[in-house]
Amino acid sequence: HGAAELDEIGVEVPPRRTPAPAWLPTAKGEEGDFCLRSSDCAAGLCCARHFWSKICKPVLREGQVCTRHRRKGTHGLEIFQRCQCAEGLACRLQREHGPADTSRLHTCQRH
């Protein structure tokens, strides 16, 4: 194993490479492109469910609405998933300025 093959005249033959399947993307996916996992998407995007498929969506920025999961495993039940908050941000309950904190809205906020 690892030894190069030689052809009839003794010239080294480069190893054959199996071409990538046609469905495998060669470049990182842009926003809206189909994906299987976040590593299939370009920087600043994640792979999230959209209806019954998955597409590249933007990672959330400060102040954007995010989804906080109370129980582990509930993320898989969504048909419109959101990406996680960008690095340095956390998904926290939005504080309302008023007597009662009635909003259940979560937004990406600095740690």
Structural domains of the chain sorted by starting position, each given as residue range(s) with its CATH number in brackets = 27-58 (2.10.80.10), 61-70+87-110 (no CATH)
pLDDT at residue 55 is higher than 80: yes
18: number of CA atoms within 13 Å, CB side?
3
Per-residue pLDDT tens over the stretch 39-50 = 999 999 999 999
* Residue 35 contacts residue 41 (beta carbons within 8 Å): yes
Instruction: Read off the pLDDT band of 91 (50, 70, 90).
Output: very high
Instruction: Give whichever of 24-28, 40-44, 69-73 has the largest mean pLDDT.
Output: 40-44
Place of tokens 């470049």: 27
3-state SS class at 20:
coil
- The yes-or-no verdict on residue 102 having pLDDT over 70 is no
Share of the chain above pLDDT 70, in %: 62
Higher model confidence: residue 99 or residue 32?
A: 32
